[in-house]
C-alpha cells in the first residue's frame, strides 16, 4: 500500500504556517467522519448481508474511518496472503470508504472476471487515473469498457500482435546484448553489479525504439531518464496518494493543501508535451514504428492525437516497469539455484550446437526447461500485488456470495500464486512443475481455466494487450544472458554467499519489483 498520504502532515518541507490549521482541521474532520461512518457502516451491513447469500469473510483488523488500510503494514502482499490463509479465497475488506473483494483462487477469479465480465470489467473513477491521466475517458487502462475503449484496445491489439512485433526482433536483441555486455563489464570492474536499473533502462529503451522509431544509439540519456521518471510518477499517483478523497471521506482537500494537485497537473502536462513531440517525429520520419502504425488506424477507429498520446504512454507504462521487474526478479532468484542455471545453459548450448546461433523467441518450444523457469519466475514473485482493480458495474452473484454494485474487485496475485490448492509446495522455486507446458504467456492468459497457470496479465477483456512483447523481452534477456554467463551471489564480509532479499519489495503504485541488490556476472565454463 502506498502510505505516502499518511506522512504528508509530518514532512519537513510541509509549510509550517499551515500545519496548525491542518492539524485542527484534521481533528475536526476525523471526529465528524468517524461519527458519520459509524452510521454509514450500519447501513452497509444490510447491503452486504443479503438473505439467501453467504457472508463474505472480513478480517477483524479494521479501524474507524480507515477501515483495513492501516492493517496492511509495510508489506501488504504478506498481510493479504495471511488473510486469505485465515479466511479463504474470497475476502471482503474496507479501504476507507471503498469496499474491496479480494480473490485468491483462479477458478473463482475466472467466474468473476471472465464469466461475469459484463458486470465486473468497469474501472474506478480515480481522480488522477480517470479525470486527469485519461482526460475523462480516453485510452485503454483506466476507462470503462465502452466503444471508445474498444476502439483504442483494437488499435493496441493490432500493433502489438505477435506477427507485427516479429518485425522488431533485431532491435530487441541488439538492446538486450548491449545491456548484458554492460552488466558483465561493470561486474568485472567493480566485483559485482546491481542489475535493476540497467534492466529497467534496457526495457524502456526497447519500448521507445519500437514505439517511436528511434534507433537504440540515438536515444539520449535525458529522454530515457525523463520517460522512466514519468512512468514511475504515474504509477505512484495511480495509488491512494493520487486520489485520497476516493478512499477517505472529506479528505479531497489534502491534495490542494499539499500541492499534490499541482504535481498531478505537471506530470500530465509533461507527458502530453514529450509524447506529442515523439509521435509527431515518428509520423514524419521514415522508420516503421508502432506510433506510425497507430496513426494510420486513427481515422478508422475515430481517434484523435490525445488518444494516441495516452495509448503510447500506457504501452510504455505497462510494458516498461512490469517487464523490467520480472527480468530483475530472475536475476535476484537464480543465484540461489546454480543447478537450475546449469540446466538452462545446457539446453541453450544444445540448441546452439544444432543451429549455429542463439535461440530467438520463435524457437521457444525447443527450450522447454527455459520456458518452465520463466513461468515459475513469474509465479514465484509477482510483478504486481493487486493487478489493476476492476469495479462492479452491477450487483454480482458469485458462487453463493453477493457483491454490491460499486465494489472494487481485486485479483490477489501473490496469494493466488502461492495458493497451495493450486500449486504443490508453492513456497518452493520449482520449474519442473511447468515442464510440458510450452504455451505462451498470452495463450495461457486467454486459455481455458483448467490449463491456465499465468495470472499476472489480468482477466477477460481487461487482460494486458502487451503480453507477447513482455514475454519476448524477458525471454531474450534470459537466453542471451545464460548463453554466455551465470549469475552468482556476491560474498559477504564473512566470506559466505550474500543473496538478494526476496521479500525486500519496491512497491510503486501497482508495481511490485525487487529493491536494489548486487550479483556477479560470470563467464560460463562450457
List CB contacts of 452: < 8 A, sequence separation 6 or more.
106, 110, 444, 445
CA distance 366 to 347: 9
Helix (H, G, I), strand (E, B) or coil at 98: strand
Cell numbers representing residue 443 in the block: 495463450
Length of the chain: 526
List CB contacts of 175: < 8 A, sequence separation 6 or more.
202, 205, 206, 209, 216
CA distance 333 to 335: 6
464 is in an annotated binding site: yes
State the alpha helices, DSSP H only, in 72-146: 76-87, 106-110, 117-120
Residue 496: other Cβ atoms inside 10 A: 9
The CA-CA-CA angle for residues 403, 407, 411, to 5°, reads 90
CB 324 within 8 A of CB 200: yes
The DSSP code for 499 is: -
CA distance 142 to 509: 14
CB 367 within 8 A of CB 348: yes
The CA-CA-CA angle for residues 168, 511, 463, to 5°, reads 60
State the alpha helices, DSSP H only, in 166-304: 169-190, 196-212, 221-237, 244-247, 253-257, 260-284, 290-296
CA distance 511 to 236: 9
CB 321 within 8 A of CB 369: no
CA distance 285 to 442: 32
Residue 479: other Cβ atoms inside 10 A: 24
Going by the annotation, the residues of the binding site for heme are: 464
Going by the annotation, the residues of the binding site are: 464
Amino acid at each position: 500500500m502506498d502510505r505516502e498520504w499518511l506522512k504528508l502532515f509530518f514532512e519537513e518541507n510541509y509549510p509550517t504556517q499551515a500545519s496548525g490549521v491542518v492539524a485542527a482541521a484534521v481533528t475536526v474532520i476525523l471526529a465528524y467522519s468517524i461519527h458519520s461512518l459509524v452510521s454509514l457502516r450500519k447501513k452497509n451491513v444490510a447491503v452486504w448481508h443479503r438473505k439467501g447469500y453467504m457472508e463474505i469473510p472480513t478480517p477483524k483488523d479494521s479501524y474507524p474511518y480507515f477501515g483495513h488500510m492501516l492493517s496492511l503494514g509495510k508489506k501488504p502482499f504478506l498481510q493479504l496472503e495471511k488473510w486469505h490463509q485465515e479466511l479463504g479465497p474470497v475476502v471482503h475488506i474496507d479501504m476507507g470508504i471503498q469496499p474491496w473483494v479480494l480473490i485468491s483462487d483462479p477458478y473463482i477469479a475466472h467466474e468473476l472476471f471472465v464469466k461475469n465480465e459484463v458486470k465486473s470489467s468497469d474501472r474506478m473513477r480515480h481522480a488522477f487515473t480517470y479525470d486527469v491521466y485519461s482526460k475523462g475517458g480516453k485510452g485503454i487502462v483506466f476507462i470503462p469498457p465502452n466503444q471508445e475503449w474498444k476502439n483504442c484496445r483494437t488499435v493496441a491489439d493490432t500493433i502489438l500482435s505477435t506477427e507485427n512485433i516479429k518485425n522488431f526482433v533485431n532491435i530487441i536483441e541488439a538492446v538486450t546484448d548491449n545491456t548484458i555486455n554492460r552488466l558483465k563489464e561493470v561486474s568485472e570492474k567493480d566485483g559485482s553489479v546491481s542489475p535493476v536499473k540497467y534492466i529497467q533502462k534496457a526495457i524502456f529503451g526497447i519500448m521507445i525504439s519500437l514505439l517511436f522509431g528511434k534507433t537504440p544509439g540515438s536515444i539520449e540519456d535525458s529522454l530515457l531518464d525523463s520517460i522512466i521518471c514519468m512512468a514511475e510518477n504515474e504509477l505512484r499517483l495511480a495509488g491512494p496518494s493520487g486520489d485520497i478523497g476516493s478512499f477517505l471521506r472529506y479528505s479531497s482537500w489534502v491534495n490542494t493543501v499539499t500541492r499534490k494537485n499541482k504535481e498531478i497537473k505537471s506530470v500530465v502536462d509533461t507527458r502530453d508535451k514529450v509524447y506529442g513531440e515523439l509521435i509527431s517525429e515518428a509520423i514524419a520520419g521514415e522508420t516503421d514504428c508502432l506510433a506510425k502504425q497507430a496513426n494510420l488506424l486513427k481515422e478508422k477507429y475515430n481517434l484523435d492525437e490525445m488518444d494516441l498520446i495516452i495509448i503510447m504512454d500506457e504501452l510504455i507504462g505497462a510494458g516498461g516497469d512490469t517487464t523490467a521487474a520480472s527480468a530483475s526478479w530472475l536475476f535476484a532468484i537464480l543465484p540461489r539455484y546454480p543447478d537450475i542455471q546449469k540446466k538452462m545453459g545446457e539446453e541453450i548450448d544444445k540448441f546452439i550446437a544444432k543451429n549455429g546461433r542463439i535461440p530467438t523467441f520463435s524457437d521457444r518450444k525447443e527450450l522447454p526447461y527455459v520456458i518452465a523457469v520463466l513461468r515459475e519466475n513469474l509465479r514465484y514473485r509477482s510483478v504486481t500485488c493487486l493487478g489493476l482493480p476492476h469495479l462492479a458495474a452491477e450487483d454480482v452473484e458469485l458462487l453463493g456470495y453477493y457483491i454490491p454494485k460499486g465494489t472494487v474487485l481485486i485479483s490477489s496475485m501473490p496469494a493466488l500464486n502461492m495458493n497451495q490448492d493450486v500449486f504443490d509446495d508453492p513456497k518452493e522455486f520449482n520449474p519442473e512443475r511447468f515442464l510440458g507446458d510450452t504455451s505462451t504467456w498470452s495463450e495461457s492468459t486467454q486459455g481455458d481455466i483448467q490449463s491456465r497457470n499465468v495470472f499476472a496479465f489480468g482477466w477477460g477483456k481487461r487482460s494486458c494487450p502487451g503480453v507477447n512483447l513482455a514475454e519476448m523481452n524477458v525471454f531474450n534477456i534470459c537466453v542471451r544472458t545464460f548463453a554466455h554467463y551465470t549469475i552468482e551471489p556476491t560474498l559477504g564480509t564473512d566470506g559466505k554467499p550474500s543473496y538478494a532479499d526476496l521479500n525486500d519489495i519496491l512497491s510503486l503504485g501497482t508495481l511490485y519489483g525487487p529493491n536494489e541488490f548486487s550479483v556477479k556476472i560470470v563467464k560460463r565454463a562450457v
